[in-house]
Amino acid sequence: MMKNILVTGGAGFIGSHVVRLLVNKYSNYNIINLDNLTYAGNLENLNDIENKPNYSFVKADICDYDKICAVFSEYNIDSVIHLAAESHVDRSIKDPFSFAKTNIMGTLSLLEAAKNIWNNDFDNKLFYHISTDEVYGSLGDEGYFTEKTAYDPHSPYSASKASSDHFVRSFSDTYGLPIVVSNCSNNYGSFQFPEKLIPLFINNICKSKPLPVYGKGENIRDWLFVNDHARAIDLIFHNGSKGDTYNIGGFNEWKNIDLIKVLIKTVDKFLGRKEGESEKLITFVTDRAGHDYRYAIDSTKLKNELGWEPSLQFEEGIEHTVKWYLENQDWINNVTSGEYQKYYKEMYK
């Protein structure tokens, strides 16, 4: 069946992988990538597919309701995969307003546009909202987040994502809008902006710059290769139950400091340095305010209902990722020029 899918945030990290997968896999779908090209959005991420006949790009702000309605009409949109967001916890601590604006008001504007333009004709329509495991809060040493875990966000980022999830579900309950939500753990892979732990640290190790480890480096994250997230999104988009939620994660928990040592070992190996040479770059710095201790996703439902499993072992994914950043120095140099320098100085002064 033919589809016209609006992917928001398609020029960002995860969005670009989702757009690439859909454009290449479904020549009968039109993929309309709507992105405002903030500091985190970069059309270079999509160079390889930008000339495909089933791909279009629209530069727009998801908060601009009139523009979003116009795009729905012009492209006859029947499905939305909504990834556009402000996504970095540290930035949310410095500037919570922009997180409320984009993540809450932007999502609401998309929901209103979908409801009003589809005008109660919800056959073959879907609003798929991409969210995060951070809405569930922080775990102790035991247990996992399931789809039934109560929301308990702690950062302005996770609070804004939690609010957007509630709005999406409210549109299903109140207006019958066909929705699906997925909540994923931390992603890693190519094209991630080097403000997040893994690309930031790979870049700093390469350049022999200090590695700013928050607190004692004992916080735990559950890491998933971004292409596996994109595969899960494809599956949930096509086969997920309407109104339902799916958790996505790889059962792959790492204490930050252990993960950092793996990054050091891998980068040093590729650069022909002595094993562990860059460990001297580790610098313990003041902890992040409200730093969640542990995230761990139980993705059993996704496995049992839709047959999804991660495709890669972590070591393989990290090797692949390190290699990509080392081989794409132009990309790194482009995204870290200009505004990034100011951000870096301000954040790690």
Q: Which residue numbers are catalytic?
A: 133-134, 157
Partner that binds at residue 130, options ligand TYD, ligand NAD, none, CB closer than 5 to 8 Å by kind: ligand NAD
Q: Per CB under 6 A, does 186 bind ligand TYD?
A: yes
Q: Which of 161, 231, 265, 294 binds ligand NAD (CB under 6 A)?
A: 161
- Pick the closer one to ligand TYD by CB: 217 or 243: 217
Report the residue from 109, 187, 256, 299 that binds ligand NAD according to the rule CB under 6 A: 187
Would you count residue 225 as binding ligand NAD (CB under 6 A)? no
Residues in Cβ contact with 191 at an 8 Å cutoff, skipping those fewer than 6 apart: 13, 16, 17, 42, 45, 226, 331
In terms of CB distance, is 226 or 281 closer to ligand NAD? 226
The CA distance from 129 to 166, in Å, is 11
Q: Binding residue for ligand NAD (CB under 6 A) from 80, 84, 100, 236?
A: 84
Is 14 one of the binding residues for ligand NAD (CB under 6 A)?
A: yes
Residue with tokens 């930031």: 200
252 in contact with ligand NAD (CB under 6 A): no
Decide: is 197 part of the binding site for ligand TYD (CB under 6 A).
yes
Nearest-angstrom CA–CA distance, 199 and 316: 16
Our finding on whether 278 is near ligand NAD (CB under 6 A) is no
Residue 91 touching ligand TYD (CB under 6 A)? no
Inter-axis angle of helices 314-327 and 256-270, nearest 10: 50
Distant-in-sequence, close-in-space partners of 238: CB < 8 Å, separation ≥ 6: none
Which of 177, 166, 160 has the alpha carbon at shortest distance from 112? 177
The rounded distance, in Å, linking the Cα atoms of 301 and 146 is 9
Tell which phi-psi region holds residue 176, choosing left (phi > 0), alpha (psi between -120 and 50) or beta.
left
- Whole-angstrom distance, CA of residue 79 vs CA of residue 7: 9
Binding site for ligand NAD (CB under 6 A): 8-9, 11-15, 35-38, 40-41, 61-63, 83-87, 102, 106, 130, 132, 161, 184, 186-187, 193
Residues near ligand TYD, by CB under 6 A:
89, 186, 196-197, 200, 212-214, 219, 221, 256, 288
